[in-house]
Amino acid sequence: MHSFSRIAVVGLGYIGLPTAAVFAENGVEVVGIDVNPDVVASINQGRPHFGEPNLDALVRRVVEGGKLRATTDVEPAEAFIIAVPTPLRGHGEGAQPDLTYVEAAARAVAPVLAAGNLVILESTSPVGTTERMAAILAELRPDLTFPQQKGEMAAVQVAHCPERVLPGRILEEVVNNARVIGGMTRKCAQRALSLYRIVVRGECRVTNARTAELAKLTENAYRDVNIAFANELSFICDRLKVNVWELIAVANLHPRVNILSPGPGVGGHCIAVDPWFIVATNPDEAKLIRAARLINDAKPAFVCAKVRERAAALKRPVIACLGLSYKKDVDDLRESPAVEIVRRLAHEGVGELLVVEPHISRLPRELEECGLALHDFDLAMERANVVLLLVDHMSFLQVDRDVLKDKFVIDTRGAW
Ligand code: SAJ
């Protein structure tokens, strides 16, 4: 038997809910805590409030089995996993991480903490956030001792174990990915390790909290920089009239070259955001990381210019905008470059826009406010004279080539 029989997960979003459900599936009693009563009600009926493969069935099973229960009130537990958002305030240069949700979670957990408890921060955070969380806990609970005060002798253990799962594959990756377990002390790390061992089959690498914080940011900055390289090539190729996808396929024949794919920009809640957390703490050192962000952020305007150019050649441009999510086969619109492109086109009044996104049932408000509506794929393809492929959803790739024959096609993903 493992040493945790009851844990609490604070924040039941894309990471917290799957994490809670997987622990529950492994026999741990899990209390899920969220400030949103609608989310709590939905989960208690066995229904996740967002789409993710296989999550519906799992949540239903563990809720019906009595292993997962959601509530808006924090309850005592042996371990607390905090998985709340750490958004970026502002855009581009000068944007700053907003840690108010982490701080609020720490304040919520503090009153129910007891000696022997473990508090883990899973949210992606700038370096120093775990220490800040521990400082809040210590301030609110002077009757307990924390690692920054008593080191290995502390009554409460604190660690940072960043989530690293890929939306669309969360349930698989939460179990199989390697985990970085960053303890404020060695004992903190060992205790966190024993918790994750209940569910994680991948390697668990123990380190300190600051290294774990920077590791997560580094992973996403690494990917952002590599995508920026591909996007920069797409700008260069456009000027030189070279097909960028063919170029990359040819260059990648070299055994030590592996260039990623250019696209309409970089979206999602992590890669487009996390590198700024590094720039925010190290503005003088993070030169390449900043440049990569700016290159990727410049891509939507470039795509819009291409569409404008095409539309200008037509008397009555009708543009099918295919896909809104930040990447293929998910319903997640966070930081999506496709949404930004459609919004810009609408504001600029470029043609009639027919938006297609099979993974959602309602347009985000910012697009509804532009007077746009969701369209059926076949009808949009029938009416459009320009087809703008923004997301390489599987269903779009199966389109009959004849349908595209007489249309201007702008394929931002190199998928057709
Ligand atoms: N993209 C490209 N070209 C590529 C690859 C991706 O333009 O060659 C774009 C995608 O279309 C998307 C964005 O980049 O807009 C990010 O997509 P992604 O699939 O690379 O990553 P995410 O944001 O879904 O998930 C990432 C993952 N991190 C890494 O791969 C280093 C995941 O493991 C992390 O857990 C997640 O961020 C996170 O939560 O941090």
For residue 178, give both structure tokens: 């390697």
Question: What span, in angstroms and rounded, lies between the C-alpha atoms of 106 and 203?
Answer: 28
3-state helix, strand, coil in the chain (%, to 5): 45, 15, 40
pLDDT reported for residue 177: 96
Percent of the chain whose predicted confidence (pLDDT) is above 90: 95
What's the 268 CA to ligand 1 centre distance in angstroms? 7
Residue 199 has a CB neighbour count (10 Å cut-off) of: 16
What's the 228 CA to ligand 1 centre distance in angstroms? 12
Lowest mean pLDDT among 1-10, 159-168, 172-181: 1-10
Question: What span, in angstroms and rounded, lies between the C-alpha atoms of 232 and 317?
Answer: 29
Question: Ligand 1: which residues within 6 Å by Cβ?
Answer: 124, 163-167, 219-220, 223, 227, 260-261, 263, 266-268, 270-271, 326-327
| Whether 165 contacts 178, CB under 8 Å | no
pLDDT reported for residue 269: 85
The CATH number assigned to the domain with range 241-411 reads 3.40.50.720
216 classed as catalytic: yes
- Which of residues 105 and 1 earns the better pLDDT score? 105
pLDDT reported for residue 119: 98
Is the alpha carbon torsion for 164, 91, 290, 239 positive or negative? positive
| Predicted TM-score (pTM) of this structure | 0.90
pLDDT greater than 80 at residue 16? yes
Closest ligand 1 atom to 261 CA:
8
What's the 123 CA to ligand 1 centre distance in angstroms? 16
DSSP string, 337-369: HHHHHHHHHHHHT-SEEEEE-TT-SS--HHHHT
- Spot the catalytic one: 188, 270, 304, 321: 270
pLDDT greater than 50 at residue 53? yes
pLDDT greater than 70 at residue 1? no
- Angle ∠(138,139,143) on CA atoms, nearest 5: 60
What's the 271 CA to ligand 1 centre distance in angstroms? 6
Closest ligand 1 atom to 266 CA:
15
Mutate which of 266, 295, 328, 332 for ligand 1? The one with the most ligand atoms within 8 Å of its CB, which is: 266
pLDDT greater than 90 at residue 92? no
Q: Provide CB contacts within 8 A for 159, sequence distance 6+.
A: 118, 119, 120, 121, 130, 181, 182, 183, 184, 188, 189, 191, 192, 209, 212
Mutate which of 213, 220, 412 for ligand 1? The one with the most ligand atoms within 8 Å of its CB, which is: 220
Domain ranges of the chain: 6-202, 241-411
Q: Report whether CATH 3.40.50.720 matches the domain 6-202.
A: yes
Distance of CA 266 to the CA centre of its chain: 11
| 6-202 and 241-411 agree in CATH topology | yes
* CA-based nearest residue to 264, from 225, 307, 231: 231
pLDDT reported for residue 94: 86
Burial 347-359 (b: 16+ CB within 10 A, else e): eeebbbbbbbbbb
